[in-house]
Amino acid sequence: MTRIQFIRRPEFARVWAASIDSSLKLPLIADMCRANTLAAVKRAGSGHLGSSFSAMDIVTWLYYRELNTARVGIGHPDRDIYFSSKGHDVPGLYSVLYSLGLLEESRFMKLRRHGGVDGHPDVGVPGIEANSGSLGMGTSKAKGMVWAKRFLGRKGRVVVMLGDGELQEGQNYEAFQTAAHQQIPVTVVIDHNKLQSDKPLDEIITLGDLEAKLRAFGWKVVRTQGHDFSAIEHAFRSIESEPGPRAIIADTIKGRGVSFMEHPEALRANAGKYRWHAGAPDDASFIAAYAELRQRLDARLSEVSLDPIHSHEAMEDGTFVANVPGDVALGEDGVAPPRLGAAAEYVAQAFGDALVDLAATVPPLVVLDGDLAVDCRVRKFEELFPTRFIENGISEQDMVSMAGGLARQGLIPVVNSFASFLASRANEQIYNNATERSKVIYACHYAGLIPAGPGKSHQSIRDVSLLAALPNMVVVQPVNSVETRAAVEWAVREASDNVAMRLVIGPSPRVITLPAGYQLRVGTGCVLHPGHDAVLFAYGPVMIHEALTAAEKLAAQGFSLKVVNLPWLNRTDANWLGEVISGIENLFVLEDHAPVGALGDQLLRTLTVSGHGRRHRVQVFGVEGFPVCGNPAEALRAHQLDGASLAERIVHQARTS
Ligand SMILES: Cc1ncc(C[n+]2csc(CCOP(=O)(O)OP(=O)(O)O)c2C)c(N)n1
Ligand SMILES: [Mg+2]
């Protein structure tokens, strides 16, 4: 059983009130917050440590010394405002807010859980000023806040934190330009840790002379050491009287505070790749990291004759058990959130492997990535075919239009990013490419509701509605590795239209076997569970698992549900559809998407046009509202899309018809 300890709020108050040199307090508070960040991420099972730790000293400085927020209160109209545009560093921010009593303990203890605090910032959490997580928007939003404060006669500054990789997003440069022209005194802090997802910026897309670039835009720029509190103070003092926009470039270390997570040692230890950007550390790494932080804290406290840190083990029921100071002996992972019974299959892996295999026989195939090569499973392609791989950094719009240019020259580009960023942010560019009638394959990773820990910036439940209306765009989502490989081969070799391939990022919840002889054919699917009382259409491994679970539960109640896997989300073969629903009145559609604009709408349209609709009733189950944050079971349940809820909803509907 993993025992994870937290440092509770009175300990922060004790250290802050201690009669010691005030310059010693901030490093102590920051490390205490690091320890809590580490504990929260470990308990959540995921989260971003490297980025939280590199920003931690600055965030501690801001809330404990620079900003009036804690003093006047987080609801005061004249408060100073801080938020992070990068957003994934929010576990660190939560720790600081908690240490000051601004964030409730019960919520902080539930990072990435339903009813706790989201994996990326959400204004529903006390102290969070802006939603972020989709990179690149923060400077523009901060500019709006400064403008509004001035307009409304309110006091208070606005400080926004940017990642250095985040600066690859073009929106930053629009904001740099307008903030200077509009003379808006927004303060930007750039957490310049020189790394992005898992590689140095200089290997992805270099920033060049950042100071000169910002100055050329008309900004006041100061550079500082981001882990030295007096240097941070000096930087803030040197820009405070500036009438226009100001930037503090803070040289920081990703993973700062835990030796083996610090750049550059961490890169050397892992063949040049940074391991601690996202995800919870394994037990051994957690124990070592926590011990290092605690030992440093206790040693520093002892030097100034203060008691060591007292920490408490947080139990699942929300109670705490006091621990012996320094006790960090941990065992098996017993507190990870309940997970789906995962199969060892990742459809995204099958996608990446298929691309590698196709490369030999399809010379025009090229792959583009937006700093997500590992998540999108294209790192292998990058290593094997470096001349056919384009790393474009965090700039989806640029990547998509570049792909359009590649396609105009006869290449077959496969563009990779998360569905939520690719389909939406670059939608206009995708449309423009489509009008040229060339073929681009858009690999929309992390499609759907699950995983739900990162929160609504990352869960993609609107991408089909954004893409399906393009006349020459086929949207497909495969259910298992076999179907994924077939879909990639079809997209690369056969498709004449553009293809948007939705892929679930996590492990498939169960092994899904396709019927013998099943051939992928546009507009058709296959029956995965026989039945005659109702038909449920679904797609992708997450929702097909829930659909099958519903069918199994209903079978035990004597209700026979036919489950149909239909990977084509905007193409339907009306004859095939007519056959599959023949003799069955009640039809259901399960979306891994909002109920608007995806498979349900497509089927309704096909039924209406073909005339089949007169004999059938259709109900669409989808992600209603914004997707909730939580573990998979919590999120599915909250949206009533888990197998048990679906079974109830289906029976209810069928009996009332
Ligand atoms: C628009 C968008 N594209 C891609 C991502 C995925 N992503 C999250 S963090 C990250 C790297 C960020 O690097 P950096 O800005 O340097 O932040 P650091 O973690 O180093 O603090 C990427 C690519 C995203 N969240 N938003
Ligand atoms: Mg960085």
Whole-number pLDDT of residue 328: 36
Q: Are 275 and 266 in contact (CB under 8 A)?
A: yes
At residue 91, does pLDDT exceed 50?
yes
Average pLDDT over residues 368-384: 98
Q: What is the residue with the minimal CA distance to atom 21 of ligand 1? A: 51
**Model confidence at 329, in pLDDT bands (50, 70, 90)?**
very low
Whole-number pLDDT of residue 614: 82
**How large a percentage of the chain has pLDDT more than 70?**
96
Q: Which stretches does DSSP call E strand in 174-324?
A: 187-192, 220-225, 246-251, 312-314, 320-322
At residue 280, does pLDDT exceed 70?
yes
Q: Probe ligand 1: pick from 52, 166, 376, max atoms within 8 Å of CB?
A: 166
Show me where the domains of the chain are located. 5-273+281-322, 347-503, 526-656
**Model confidence at 330, in pLDDT bands (50, 70, 90)?**
very low
Average pLDDT over residues 390-416: 98
More confident residue, 655 or 13: 13
Whole-number pLDDT of residue 296: 98
Cα(553) to ligand 1 centroid in Å equals 41
Cα(215) to ligand 1 centroid in Å equals 24
Give the closest ligand to the alpha carbon of residue 161: 1
At residue 569, does pLDDT exceed 80?
yes
What's the CA gap between 30 and 34, in Å, rounded?
A: 6
Average pLDDT over residues 132-139: 98
Q: What is the residue with the minimal CA distance to atom 13 of ligand 1? A: 196
Q: Give the ligand 1 atom nearest the CA of 197.
A: 11
What's the CA gap between 76 and 260, in Å, rounded?
A: 41
Cα(199) to ligand 2 centroid in Å equals 9
At residue 527, does pLDDT exceed 50?
yes
**Model confidence at 81, in pLDDT bands (50, 70, 90)?**
very high
Residues recorded for the chain:
657
Q: What is the residue with the minimal CA distance to atom 6 of ligand 1? A: 372
At residue 372, does pLDDT exceed 90?
yes
In this structure, the residues whose C-beta lies within 6 A of any atom of ligand 1 are 50-51, 54, 86, 88-89, 133-136, 163-166, 191, 193, 195-197, 254, 277, 370-372, 394, 421
What's the CA gap between 568 and 540, in Å, rounded?
A: 10
Give the closest ligand to the alpha carbon of residue 163: 1
At residue 605, does pLDDT exceed 80?
yes
At residue 357, does pLDDT exceed 50?
yes
Closest to 509 in 3D by CA, of 636, 627, 630: 636
Cα(119) to ligand 1 centroid in Å equals 14
Q: Give the ligand 1 atom nearest the CA of 201.
A: 16
Q: What is the residue with the minimal CA distance to atom 9 of ligand 1? A: 197
Q: Which residues contact 40 (CB under 8 A, 6 or more apart)?
A: 6, 47, 91, 94, 95, 108, 109, 111
More confident residue, 315 or 215: 215
pLDDT tens per residue, range 476-493: 999 999 999 999 999 999
Cα(197) to ligand 2 centroid in Å equals 8
Structure-derived torsion over alpha carbons of residues 386, 267, 451, 599, reported in degrees to the nearest 10: -10
pLDDT tens per residue, range 4-22: 999 999 999 999 999 999 8
Q: Probe ligand 1: pick from 41, 132, 371, 392, max atoms within 8 Å of CB?
A: 371
Average pLDDT over residues 257-265: 97
Q: What is the residue with the minimal CA distance to atom 12 of ligand 1? A: 196
Q: Give the ligand 1 atom nearest the CA of 425.
A: 1
Q: Calculate the average pLDDT of the chain.
A: 95
- 């006669």: which residue's tokens? 153
**How large a percentage of the chain has pLDDT more than 90?**
93
**526-656 has which fold?**
Rossmann fold (3.40.50)
Enter the CATH code of domain 347-503: 3.40.50.970
At residue 319, does pLDDT exceed 80?
no
More confident residue, 614 or 374: 374
At residue 326, does pLDDT exceed 60?
no
Average pLDDT over residues 333-354: 69
Quick one: CA dihedral 129, 89, 179, 457, positive or negative?
Answer: negative
Give the number of other Cβ atoms within 10 Å of residue 157's Cβ. 21
Average pLDDT over residues 529-538: 98
Give the closest ligand to the alpha carbon of residue 51: 1
Q: What is the residue with the minimal CA distance to atom 19 of ligand 1? A: 51
pLDDT tens per residue, range 159-193: 999 999 999 999 999 999 999 999 999 999 999 99
Cα(370) to ligand 1 centroid in Å equals 9
At residue 340, does pLDDT exceed 70?
no
Average pLDDT over residues 39-53: 97
**Model confidence at 325, in pLDDT bands (50, 70, 90)?**
very low
Cα(196) to ligand 1 centroid in Å equals 6
Cα(197) to ligand 1 centroid in Å equals 6
Closest to 279 in 3D by CA, of 593, 505, 29: 505
What's the CA gap between 59 and 65, in Å, rounded?
A: 10
At residue 52, does pLDDT exceed 50?
yes
pLDDT tens per residue, range 431-442: 999 999 999 999
Q: Give the ligand 1 atom nearest the CA of 50.
A: 19
CATH of the domain spanning 5-273+281-322, picked from 3.90.1150.10, 3.40.50.970, 3.20.20.70, 1.20.1440.230? 3.40.50.970
- Fold agreement between 5-273+281-322 and 347-503: yes
Whole-number pLDDT of residue 612: 79
Q: Are 435 and 477 in contact (CB under 8 A)?
A: no
What's the CA gap between 237 and 126, in Å, rounded?
A: 28
Residues with C-beta atoms within 5 A of ion ligand 2: 163-165, 193, 195
Q: Per DSSP, what are the bridge partners of residue 621? A: 590
Whole-number pLDDT of residue 322: 65
Give the number of other Cβ atoms within 10 Å of residue 121's Cβ. 27
